[in-house]
Chain A
Amino acid sequence: MKPGLPLLWRRTKERYNLIGSKCESCGTHYMPGRAVCPKCRRKGKLVEHKFSGKGRIYSYTVVRVAPEGYEYFVPYVLAIINLDEGAKITGQIVDADPDKIEVGQKVEMVFRKIHEDNPEGLITYGFKFKLAD
């Protein structure tokens, strides 16, 4: 379960600021970012794209039996978010009552702690989502 430091560090941009990619040829957005556009192949031109962090809940589940490291959070909501630009990503919905979550609700990105290895280990930060005001 525990990823190495270099992997976490390489993903800082993506996790802190929702930086993925956009194909300038076909306009498709990717999160996480891609090196090659699967639609345009060699005709594609991928550039970095910072997502607005706004989107809607596409689907969700309520986690009641948590994996190691997430025991404090149960029950918590894990959702697939349809970002406004078009890409879909998975993220936790924070500060919300699981009974009040519905597909289609507007959400926005927040910066939270994702994981703590142990009291002496690294703290991983990154995006989660909250229901939009």
Chain B
Amino acid sequence: MSCVGIAGYGVSIPSYRIKAGEIARVWGEEEGRIVKGLGLSEKSVPGLDEDAATLAVDAARRAVSHAGIDPYDIKSMFIGSESHPYAVKPTATIVAEAIGATPNLFAADYEFACKAGTAGVINTYALIKSGEIDYGMGIGADTSQGRPGDALEYSAGAGAAAFLLGRKDVIANIEGIYSYATDTPDFWRREHAIYPSHGGRFTGPPGYFKHVIGGAKGIMEKMGTKPRDYAYAVFHQPNGKFPRTVAKKLGFTAEQIEPGLITPYIGNTYSAATLIGLAAVLDAAKPGDAILVASFGSGAGSDAFHIEASDLIDERRNAYPVRRIIENKRYIDYGTYAKHRRKLVL
């Protein structure tokens, strides 16, 4: 009776998109080289009035409506982001207020580069598993920035995913968790800095690959499973290339990872990326399907989950499937993008 699962989930992605080719045109790069090198062709851009908090609210409202519960029953709210609107003042209270979960709940913000979202989900899981609360929400939300002209500018997207966990009427059970972390200086942003700095190729093998492999192997060892035991695998997706490479290294096939690979269409949504991938997989999963999830956050660490879809998943499909959300898009040029991201200051 202590099994914790996903009672509902919700995803929000801004409707604006910029093509990699449009960014490449401005910086004199070859579009083909960028698209092939990063494995993505466009990214999402937040509207002028969207930030991590507004995207989180949209995702959270969808998760509550998917779960069909009274939002007042949500007793914890964790939001992971590296673009919290305030340096000091929680995003979690804004979201809790906007979904009607205040005042009797535990609310806190997280920061751990791209894995702050799964960090929130793990803590929600822990609170429910301990018997302290019945429902809690973990959200990953970001509107991250890349330095103009930097490789990150092609991939830094915007989006949010909210996971409402509970024990009753879940669409999928979280059968196990495993985390892996070391002090690795692959990517960072100092206080007051607008853009992050990174170690270029150093972000690969000692950063992303070491930790995602550490997380994924750790959860499989803990559960006594092999890659072939999973219907789907979702890895953090900073671009379209890394998750495909790590899947191959771990022994997962394209069929297992492609359904959860969303970054090629919306860019890297940072704290939301792994969770949006998981949402896309849950949109398609059948009862009994096992799903391996391994996030990654620079600095560095990975949170891994072994999830199994329950018998309820077929009758409780999400009204806002990820693949449909990403189809709602309007393209903007680099000038409009620069205005949206406040790279142009009035």
**Chain A residues whose CB sits within 8 angstroms of the CB of B15 once the complex forms:** 95
Beyond A17-B98, A95-B330, A123-B86, whether A112 also contacts B346 by CB under 8 A is no
**Chain B residues whose CB sits within 8 angstroms of the CB of A12 once the complex forms:** 97
Q: Is A125 an interface residue (CB 8 A)?
A: yes
Cα of A113 to Cα of B16 in the assembled complex, Å: 16
Q: Is B100 an interface residue (CB 8 A)?
A: yes
From B16, B50, B86, give the contact of A112 (CB < 8 A): B50
From B16, B49, B94, B97, give the contact of A114 (CB < 8 A): B49
Cα of A73 to Cα of B49 in the assembled complex, Å: 9
The smallest beta-carbon distance between B88 and chain A, in angstroms, is 11
Chain B, Cβ-Cβ closest to A53: B61
From A94, A112, A123, A128, give the contact of B85 (CB < 8 A): A123
Cα of A111 to Cα of B100 in the assembled complex, Å: 13
Contact B57 A111 (CB under 8 A): yes
Cα of A41 to Cα of B182 in the assembled complex, Å: 67
Contact B49 A128 (CB under 8 A): yes
Cα of A83 to Cα of B56 in the assembled complex, Å: 25
Contact B50 A71 (CB under 8 A): no
The smallest beta-carbon distance between B101 and chain A, in angstroms, is 11
**Chain A residues whose CB sits within 8 angstroms of the CB of B61 once the complex forms:** 111
Cα of A17 to Cα of B85 in the assembled complex, Å: 20
Q: Is A62 an interface residue (CB 8 A)?
A: no
The smallest beta-carbon distance between B327 and chain A, in angstroms, is 11
Contact A125 B100 (CB under 8 A): no
Cα of A114 to Cα of B85 in the assembled complex, Å: 13
Q: Is B44 an interface residue (CB 8 A)?
A: no
Q: Is A58 an interface residue (CB 8 A)?
A: no
Q: Is B76 an interface residue (CB 8 A)?
A: no
Interface string of B70-100 (1 = CB under 8 A from A): 0000000000000001100000001001101
Cα of A125 to Cα of B85 in the assembled complex, Å: 11
**Chain A residues whose CB sits within 8 angstroms of the CB of B47 once the complex forms:** 94-95, 112
Cα of A113 to Cα of B61 in the assembled complex, Å: 16
Q: Is A31 an interface residue (CB 8 A)?
A: no
Cα of A17 to Cα of B339 in the assembled complex, Å: 29
From B54, B330, B339, B346, give the contact of A125 (CB < 8 A): B54
Give the A interface residue count (CB, 8 A): 17
Q: Is A60 an interface residue (CB 8 A)?
A: no
Chain B, Cβ-Cβ closest to A113: B49
Q: Is B51 an interface residue (CB 8 A)?
A: yes
From B58, B85, B86, B100, give the contact of A110 (CB < 8 A): B58
Contact B54 A112 (CB under 8 A): yes
Q: Is B193 an interface residue (CB 8 A)?
A: no
Within 8 A of A (CB), among B1-36: 15-16
Interface string of A104-133 (1 = CB under 8 A from B): 000000111110000000010100100001
Interface string of B186-219 (1 = CB under 8 A from A): 0000000000000000000000000000000000
Within 8 A of A (CB), among B324-346: 328, 330, 339, 342, 346
**Chain B residues whose CB sits within 8 angstroms of the CB of A72 once the complex forms:** 48, 339, 342, 346
Cα of A17 to Cα of B60 in the assembled complex, Å: 13
Cα of A72 to Cα of B345 in the assembled complex, Å: 9
**Chain B residues whose CB sits within 8 angstroms of the CB of A16 once the complex forms:** 97-98
The smallest beta-carbon distance between A98 and chain B, in angstroms, is 14
**Chain B residues whose CB sits within 8 angstroms of the CB of A17 once the complex forms:** 98, 100
The smallest beta-carbon distance between A106 and chain B, in angstroms, is 16
Interface string of A16-40 (1 = CB under 8 A from B): 1100000000000000000000000
The 10 closest A-B pairs by CB, nearest first: A112-B49, A113-B49, A111-B57, A16-B98, A72-B48, A112-B54, A95-B15, A111-B54, A71-B346, A123-B85
List A residues at the B interface (Cβ < 8 Å): 12, 16-17, 71-73, 94-95, 110-114, 123, 125, 128, 133
Q: With A72-B342, A73-B49, A125-B54 given, can you name 19 additional A-B contacts, CB distance below 8 Å?
A: A16-B97, A16-B98, A17-B98, A72-B346, A94-B47, A94-B49, A95-B15, A95-B330, A110-B54, A111-B61, A111-B98, A112-B54, A113-B49, A113-B54, A123-B53, A123-B85, A125-B57, A125-B98, A128-B49
14 contacts between A and B (CB under 8 A): A72-B48, A72-B342, A72-B346, A73-B49, A94-B47, A95-B15, A95-B47, A110-B54, A111-B58, A111-B98, A112-B49, A113-B49, A113-B50, A125-B98
